[in-house]
Structure 1
Amino acid sequence: MCKYEKLFLGIILGAIFPLVGFLTGWWSTSQLFSNAWVFITALLGLGLGLLVDGVVLKKWAARAFEMDLKLWMVIFFFYGICVFGFFMGVPVFNVILAIPAGLIIGRKLVHQSMTIEAEKRLRLKTNLFTTGVMAFICTSSAFLALRDPTTAANLEGMLRLTFEVTQGMIIALIVVGGAGLLGLHWWLVDKTIQFAKGSGNNL
């Protein structure tokens, strides 16, 4: 494993426990205490996550390409929810996760010898799962947008539109935009896997 892979995996895996700690501290106290105490609790959770990293991260990253695919699926879903929440339900930014997903699988193919058929199955599973998560994100975003009575006004203000946005327009945007995001996500995962695998041991 080269230094770039170690750095990349250190970032991807190393952020999980601090994020879990921070979010757990925040959401478990947000309805109970004042903002100051909520923030302090969240920071304590973040610190605890960093301590856990100090104990397990190095060994975890060293075995990253040997990890069960199901664990990577959980990690991808976790990051998908985090990105979705951070950008307040806008699904466009979740497409970015196609790149690390493709890089991880592509490098996994470099480090583990597989038959051509097994490699094809892994690539297909990766695309199906990650794009499925993207579909879930798009569906959740659509549900929130259709339920929010201010969606039309928000679009008009954000895009500086001079005409009234109707419910039909919103639905059309959801369908066309969602299909475009899913197609882009699938393409990005596939191309990133090709790039990462094609780089071989040159990284």
Structure 2
Amino acid sequence: MTAIDFYFSTLSPYTYLAGNRLEELAARHGAQIIYKPLDIMALFPRTGGTPPKDRHPARQEYRLIELERQAKKLGMPMKLQPAHWPTNAAPSSYAIIAAQKEGDGGMGALVQSVLRACWAEEKDIAEDTVIKECLTAAGFDPSLADSGLLVGAETYGQNLEDAVSAGVFGAPFYVTADGGRFWGQDRLDDLDRYLSEQ
């Protein structure tokens, strides 16, 4: 079974726009997804990127145009400037890490629930109640939000180091076991083709 390292941020609008397409793709190819949430704001300066708030106004404006365009194309509801963005991504990331370790629910559904809470429902994904709602909706024990915080913090930090080592510089980013790299929700078709050719 091939594996796909899925590097993402729970703050990433483009990860939200990926929806469940990665999970569908992995099911078709019999691939395992390893969910690796990371601190995107720490990744940017280490890999030559710039946080959205520090980009040139023309880039900031175009980012909103592109997000609206992609959301419309995909038929996904989206608040371009959600009330609670940016927020602290660590709590939701720790919960995802704990859930993956637990392994009893739907990981894709959990990640999508957290992203939807931020980008469509304007909820603060740093809040404990929101994280617990997302865990429950995906079939996990909501108490996972309160457990494994030390392991979560260590894994979250290690995911960042792994990302830098793997040549990851944005989110979402997909890295196959043989080193194939694909950046962006609009590259999932390319990842699909790549796996078909292996």
Q: Same fold (TM over 0.5)?
A: no
Give the structure with higher Rg (CA). Answer: 1
* Structure having the larger proportion of residues in strand: 2
Higher relative contact order (CA 8 A, sep 6+): 2
* Structure having the larger proportion of residues in helix: 1
TM-score norm. by structure 1 comes to: 0.26
